[in-house]
Chain A
Amino acid sequence: MSAPPSPEPSFDEKTMAREEPSSRAPKLSRPEHDASCHGPQGRDEVREARGKPLVALVGRPNSGKSSLYNAVTGARAHVGNFPGITVDILEADLTLPGGIDVSMADLPGFYTLESVIDPATDEGIARRVLDRALEEERRLLVVQVIDATQLALGLRLTRELAARPFRLLVVVSQCDILEGQGRALDKAALSDSIGAPVLAVSARDPQTSAKVREAAARALEANDPLREKPAWEPDALARKVVSDVASASAAARRRRELTARADRWLLHPLLGPVLFLGLMALVFAAVFLVADPTTNALDAGIGALGSRVSKLLGGGLLGSFVSDGLLGGAGTVLAFMPQIVILTVAMELLEASGYLARGAFLVDRLLRLLGLSGRSFVPLLMGHACAVPAISATRIVRDPRERLTTILVLPLMTCSARIPTYALVLTTFFPAGNALFKACIFVGLYFAGILSGLVASLVLRRTATRGRTLPLVLEMPAYRAPQPRVIARQSMSAALRFLREIGTSILAASAILWVLLTIPAPGASSRIEPQDAATSAASSASASSSTSTEPARTLVLERSVGAMVGRALEPLTSPVGFDWRINAGLIGSFGARELMVSTMGIIYGIEDVSDDPAPLSTRMRTTKKLDGSPAYTVRTGLALLAFFLFACQCMSTVAAIRRETKSIRWPAFVLAYTYAIAYAAALIVYQVSGFLGVG
């Protein structure tokens, strides 16, 4: 592992700490914000001059907040612009009854505004949003969502909110479940006690959105609150307002027993982990089974579009730029979409059902050995399909240092984009190996990825990301039936955000790579070595599927800046067995690993190499050096596998890390350390295998 970027990088203050340390100061409780200092009148005068009123949705994690947000805002959510807040907060513009235009923001789930342990945690972020709205004297309505079945816990936060100088609306969710338990909520008594309006809703009530909008409009129109320190106790109030309407309710007992019975099996010390891992294996089987055909269909569609564009624009530079550069890049982005959608659906299902927290409980001990916690498990697992959504998923990790560690090691997980490259290398260099042998290599590569990630996190937690760890408190929510509508909407929005945010950087990288691999290097024609020219001539003559443009493309690439760089890198890469072609392939695959195959295809003048790497592997096997010895051997293959195992050859991942850490230092660090390990691993594999006499 390379050294961390600085001896003592303070992640909190410099990266995800989201700029100001002042968020530690309890701004919200400053006396000048108290309503007693601002008459309702005074505030009325200023407020109209400010932006749209903000309706901030807050609550503990698992309180049903996101379901409510989805129900009220529909598909209009966009990432809000909150200055100084670097975590995306979903926001939607709404018109409430009475014609009031507002922005509704879904803040991260949090437990308290008073005890912010760290400004980078969800508490810190939520407090900053509310602070900012108060500072800007924006009209602010805080809508707290409380799970009716855990009223006492939710009321702790209510008590904090009720002491603040903003309007408050309490929405008690899951009332249907409460009723199912044979209990009833006295809304009026609750509202009287806390001094704010209370609305009771049920997840399956189609009128929920309308009711919330109406209540929000009324609350916004109400006079500014005159707050006093609440005198009520959460536990006592919860006991007072919830009464057993049918104390002998069989349904209530059955529900409790069901959860206890499910936990007896699902959290069983031995059976629990086995079931959890089995379920995870199923999720991944689904990703591969469903994503593969969809990805192929997308590829085919984009390929067809590309050839149509080529025909339309001619075979010139412009046509190549649009079809190879831009559409090729778009294809890379779109190929991730099915996986992202499937993974999001799976993770949302697990999360909404309450099982995800159980999974974290089961694997926490294992990850603690490595300085992580059970919460990191899901992102690390998701990283096996694609690091990009996994990096977003690290938001479920509360501890900022643990979250950063998880982000930094995620590129080491064996994502699905590595598979085409592994397949090419295996087909090329181990043609005699049977399916079992290849399967074993694949499994070995997966385990090597996991192991390297674990070792890296162990090292990082003691160097770059060392520091105070927050105590693990994992809320174990009751089991619930997920709502298909909410899950569909979450998946759609994950897919769209991925397209928008990662798509742009992929397109830019594709365009740059196209330029590198197309624009001729100065004086390039004289640089082609005799054996290269011979190879390309032979390849174009022997390939039965060749078209007349292939030798031309091959020559273009051989003369390109990319090939020049590839040749310039040969002194560095020859100890690991790579020649300029592989170097150019590595440059081509910097954007995305799977492009290694197509770049090598271009070098050898083979089209449609993604569909069938067999001709390419034959061509690579038969490539000779000047002295007639094979250019690539099994050792080259092993070294390539070792290189791809560690190198962060993925622009989308780099872009996602940049986005989540709001710094260029951490993506640069990831590139540096993964390439250093990759090179070292390839060097060791190549040299040791040579020493052992591997062909």
Chain B
Amino acid sequence: MSASSPLFLGETQVGQTVRVLALELEPDFVEWLRAVGIHEGERVTVLRRALFGGPIHVRTGSGGEFALNRQLARSIRVAHLEPEVRA
């Protein structure tokens, strides 16, 4: 687990696995996203990005796959982890 300088989920590369550090959103959104399965400490692997700044497709450590729009992804602070062994 090699934590590097913090970055946002919107800036990560496809195939990277990151850990969510913080959600820079209004508190009720943060709580709602926690219930959905995206919260501090959760491991997230970026599977793909849609073209032209479209949503990013991620898999969370709890087993869910989600598409998050870029605006949202730019509000999620993350730190790098080693890439997942199995896609």
Contact = CB atoms under 8 A, between A and B. Distances in A.
A112 B31 CA distance: 9
A348 B75 CA distance: 33
Nearest to B61: A235
A93 interface: no
B66 A112 contact: no
Given A267-B48, A374-B55, A150 B64 contact: yes
The winner among A123, A474, A478 for most chain B CB atoms within 10 A is A474
Contacts of A368: 54, 69
Given A269-B51, A364-B55, A475 B35 contact: no
Contacts of B21: none
B67 A365 contact: no
Given A361-B55, A364-B54, A365-B53, A156 B35 contact: yes
B47 interface: yes
B38 to A, nearest CB: 7
B3 interface: no
Contacts of B61: 235
A282 interface: no
Nearest to A272: B50
Interface string A114-157: 11110000010000000000000000000000000111110011
A364 B67 contact: yes
B72 A263 contact: no
A362 interface: yes
A234 B35 contact: no
The winner among B57, B67, B72, B75 for most chain A CB atoms within 10 A is B67
Contacts of B62: 150, 152-153, 234-235, 238
B37 A365 contact: no
A150 B63 CA distance: 6
A247 to B, nearest CB: 13
A472 interface: yes
A34 to B, nearest CB: 21
A357 to B, nearest CB: 7
Given A362-B50, A365-B55, A472 B35 contact: no
Contacts of B29: 117, 470-471
Nearest to A160: B35
B65 A473 contact: no
Contacts of B35: 111-112, 114-115, 156-157, 160
B1 interface: no
Nearest to B47: A263
A160 B50 CA distance: 34
A263 B53 CA distance: 19
Nearest to B42: A235
Contact of A471 (B31, B63, B69, B87): B69
A443 interface: no
Contacts of A149: 63
Given A111-B35, A117-B32, A153-B64, A361 B72 contact: no
A476 interface: yes
A473 B38 contact: yes
The winner among A149, A270, A471, A474 for most chain B CB atoms within 10 A is A471
Contact of B50 (A111, A151, A364, A470): A364
A614 interface: no
A196 B54 CA distance: 42
Contacts of A238: 62
Contacts of A470: 29
A373 interface: yes
Contacts, number: 115
A250 B51 CA distance: 34
B38 A365 contact: no
A476 B66 contact: yes
B22 interface: no
B65 A476 contact: yes
The winner among A115, A263, A267 for most chain B CB atoms within 10 A is A115
B67 A156 contact: no
Given A117-B28, A267-B57, A364 B69 contact: yes
Nearest to B62: A152
A111 B36 contact: yes
A357 B66 CA distance: 9
B13 interface: no
B50 A152 contact: no
Nearest to B28: A117
B47 to A, nearest CB: 7
Nearest to B58: A476
A156 B63 CA distance: 13
Contacts of B66: 473-476
Contact of B32 (A115, A362, A373): A115
Interface in A464-499: 470-478
Contact of A153 (B28, B37, B49, B50): B37
Contacts of B47: 263
A475 B50 contact: no
Nearest to B53: A365
A116 to B, nearest CB: 8
B43 to A, nearest CB: 10
B32 to A, nearest CB: 4
B22 to A, nearest CB: 15
B68 A473 contact: yes
Contacts of B54: 361-362, 364-365, 368
A360 interface: yes
Given A235-B61, A267-B48, A361-B50, A471 B55 contact: no
Contacts of B48: 263, 267, 269
B28 A471 contact: no
Interface in A219-238: 234-235, 238
Contacts of A114: 31, 35
A121 to B, nearest CB: 9
Interface string B5-26: 0000000000000000000010
Contact of B34 (A115, A267, A475, A476): A115
B55 A472 contact: yes
A116 B28 CA distance: 7
A269 B57 CA distance: 12
A546 B62 CA distance: 73
A235 B34 CA distance: 13
Contacts of A151: 63
Contacts of A626: none
Contacts of A157: 35
A115 B71 CA distance: 21
7 contacts: A115-B28, A115-B32, A116-B32, A152-B62, A474-B67, A476-B67, A477-B65
Given A150-B62, A471-B75, A472-B67, 14 more contacts: A117-B29, A150-B64, A156-B34, A267-B50, A270-B51, A361-B50, A365-B52, A365-B55, A374-B67, A471-B71, A471-B72, A472-B72, A475-B36, A476-B57
5 nearest A-B pairs in the assembled complex, by CB-CB distance: A112-B35, A365-B54, A115-B31, A474-B67, A152-B62
